[in-house]
Amino acid sequence: MEKKNEELTEKMKKETEETKVEEVLENPDQETEESSKEKELTLEEKYDQLQEENEQLNDRLIRKAAEFENFRRRSIADKSNWIKNATERLVLEICDVVDNFERALHSDLKKTDHKAFKKGIELIYQQLENLLKKEGVTKIVAEKRNLIQTYMKLWLIFHRI
């Protein structure tokens, strides 16, 4: 029974192919019109696909540009916050030194020992010097040099940064 079904389907296929061939032979212009319509459809489909792909790529480009702009803004904000926090910490530590100087200046010099006063000022100086060392500031010794030349060199160094 299966063989009969296969034979019948084969006969039907042959008949449809024969009728198509006959139609083509009778109307050759119609075949070219149909094939050109198919080509136009495929070209239109390709165009639509390319348009859609172009829109997707433009969308991705716009998103990446916005993402980069947000990253740039965050970087600038982070950097300014970092500088603000670093400056704030340094100012607070310098305030401690200033407080110590104020206490020393407001003390009664007539009643206090001058040696103790000098020792207190030296300790405050040490505190300030340690703070500067901690921040990476070092002394530049200007032995046997003209002070103006040293100042100019320092000015050039700090303005290059």
Helix axes 28-106, 2-26, angle to 10 degrees: 100
- The model's pTM is 0.42
**Domain layout of the chain by residue ranges:** 37-106, 108-161
Q: Two tokens at 52? A: 């859609």
Which residue intervals of the chain are DSSP H helices? 2-26, 28-106, 114-134, 147-160
Per-residue model confidence as pLDDT tens digits over 71-115: 999 999 999 988 888 888 888 888 888 888 888 878 776 666 778
